[in-house]
Amino acid sequence: MTKSAFVLVDYENVQPKDLGGLKESAYKILIFVGASQTKLPSKLVRVKDELASQAEYIWIEGSGKNALDFHVAYYLGKLAAAHPEATLHVVSKDKGFDPLMKYLKNSGMSCDRVASVSAIPVSVKSKRLSIRPAVVNPKRELSPIESVIENLRKRGKAKPRTRTKLLGTIKSILGRQTSDEDAVRLLDQLRSCGVTESGSGKISYAAEF
């Protein structure tokens, strides 16, 4: 059974240049547009039209402080209640969402906040969350999640098997500038790609790895 998956874009905070990478994926995309954002880039409009029913604009009528953020939070709660098994990604650089993300995770939801659409793991070959090929375009720089997946796949049976070791591996792959918080956030993303963690902190990997 295919799990539900949603991407909520805080368009006041992050303006993706292209959503084409999510086309034919499992994601339903909600683009939250502020009251003052009366003009949208033609490329975004064109790609949204190509995505058809997969993408939807949520137009915010009010212009009060944090009006759009409250709408995103409302939809997160609504989706979490209707689809408790779903994977939720909020695209925003606003760390104000993080306490809500933490609460939802503690409630058993698979969710996170990412700073860009490119940080979302997605497969264009199937209607489920999976691992896409690490290099789609040799000239394109890999996103953090793609870099970690590529490294883990090369390790074969030598992959880290505990939460502590996997977090250390993530930080090693991405560099010293990676914080503990960033490593945990990326580990949460890996759960959408077939990495599972037991209550005792043991890590296992799907066959794709």
Q: pLDDT by residue (tens digit) across 23-34?
A: 767 889 999 988
Q: Which of 4-13, 35-44, 141-150, 179-188 has the highest mean pLDDT?
A: 4-13
Last residue of a domain, one of 86, 107, 130: 130
pTM: 0.57
Q: Where in the sequence is the domain holding 165, given as residue range(s)? A: 131-209
Q: Do both 188 and 85 map to the same domain?
A: no
126 and 76 inside one domain: yes
In tens, the pLDDT along 152-201 reads: 989 999 999 999 999 999 999 998 788 888 888 888 878 767 788 887 88
Distance, in Å, from the CA atom of 122 to the CA atom of 31, rounded to the nearest integer, reads 18
Model pLDDT, residue 122: 65
Cα(157)–Cα(209) distance, integer angstroms: 10
Residue 136: pLDDT band with limits 50, 70, 90: very low
Q: Which of 74, 98, 130 delimits the end of a domain?
A: 130
Residues 57, 148 share a domain: no
55 and 119 share a domain? yes
Question: 111 with 9, same domain?
Answer: yes
Taken in order 74, 78, 80, 86, the sign of the CA dihedral is negative
pLDDT averaged over the chain?
A: 81
Decide if 101 contacts 113 (C-beta within 8 A). Answer: yes
Sign of CA dihedral 74, 122, 182, 153: positive
Q: Which residues pair with 89 in a beta bridge?
A: 7, 112
List, in sequence order, every beta strand (DSSP E) within the chain.
Answer: 5-10, 27-33, 55-59, 87-91, 110-114, 195-197, 203-205
User: Same domain for 70 and 18?
Assistant: yes
Q: Of 96, 130, 164, which closes a domain? A: 130
Q: Is 83 left (phi over 0), alpha (psi -120 to 50) or beta?
A: beta
User: What's the number of domains the chain is made of?
Assistant: 2
What pLDDT is stored for residue 129 in this prediction? Answer: 40
d(CA 13, CA 36): 13
Claim to verify: residue 51 and residue 116 sit in the same structural domain = yes
